[in-house]
Structure 1
Amino acid sequence: MREWWNLKRKWAWIVVLTCMLPVIVSGCASTKGESADLDAVSGADKNDPLYYDFGDVLVPREMKVDKNASFVFRTPGLSAGVLSMKGRVDGHSLITFFENNMANDNWSLVSAFKSFRNIMLFKKESRWCVINITEKRLNTYLEIWVSPTVQGAAPSLFKQAG
C-alpha cells in the first residue's frame, strides 16, 4: 500500500511540473518582450555603437571590453588610460569606423600606420588618443589609449622628482 502511495505522489509532482512549465516559459517570454520594448522606447538599436569609459570615443558594439587588460583613471575633469577590447570585426572596417566617427567627436587624425598592426593617432585640444588595431586568426584586438597633453594635464600629474 505504501509503494502505491509513493507512486501516486510522484505522478502528482510530474503533473504539477508539467502544468507549470508553460507558465514559466511564457513568463520568461514576456520579460524578454518588455526589454525589447524598453529598447524601442529609448531609441537604442542593438547595433548602435557605444561610448564606454571615454565619453568621446565611440566604439562598435561588436567589440567587447577585456577588463583584465584595461586600466582607466577618472577624475571629475579627466579620464585617461587604456581600454582593451576584442571582437570578430574586420580590421579595415574598424579603421574606417574610427576615421569617420572620431571627427564627429572633434578628434583630428594626426597620423596613421597601416600594416599587420594598425595605429591611428588623434588629437583634441587637451588630449591625445592612440587607437591600436591588431587582427589575429579568430579575433580583432583593439586598444584605445587616451592621455591628456602636458599643457592640459593637472600640474601635479607631471611633478619631477628632485
Structure 2
Amino acid sequence: MLKIALDVAYLLLALVTLILLIALVAFVFVPVESLNLTVSNSEGGVQQALTRPLIVFALGVLSAWFGGFLLILRQLRQIFRTLTQGDPFQPGNVRRLRLIGATLAIVTGGVWIAQSVVAARLAPGVLDRQGVGALLTPIFSVLVVFVLAEVFREGARLRRESELTI
C-alpha cells in the first residue's frame, strides 16, 4: 500500500512540476497584460501589479519547491525498493538519506527566503516576515533525517562485519 502511495504521489508531483516548468517558460516569452493582485489581511490590503518578473519569480519558486519534493520522493522510492528486497542497510541508502536531508534543508531555506522576499517586496505591512522560529521544526526534521542516515551507515557497517565473520 505504501509503495502505491509513493508511486502515485511521485507521478502527481512530476506532473505538477512539469506543468509549472512549462508555465515558467511560457511566461518568459508571453506578454503579460495589466493584471493586479490584491493581498489582504484583517487590517486592509495592498493591490500589486502582476509583472512578468513577479510571475516568473512565483513560478520559479513553485517549480523549485515541487521539484525538491519530487527529488525526495524519488529517493524514498529507491529506499523502499531496497526495503522490499530485504536489504535496507546498504551504502546507497545512506547516500539517499543524506540527499533527502540536504534537499529538505535547501527547500526549507528557499521557502523561508521566498516568504521574506514576498513579505518585504510584494506586500509590505500586510504580510509578516517569517521569523527564525518558523525554521525550528524543519531544522529538527532535517537533523532527524541526517541521524537516520548515520543509523543506516552503522547498520551497513555491521552487516559487512557479520558477512566477514565465519
Q: TM-score, normalised by structure 1?
A: 0.23
Higher strand residue share: 1
Q: TM-score, normalised by structure 2?
A: 0.22
Higher helix residue share: 2
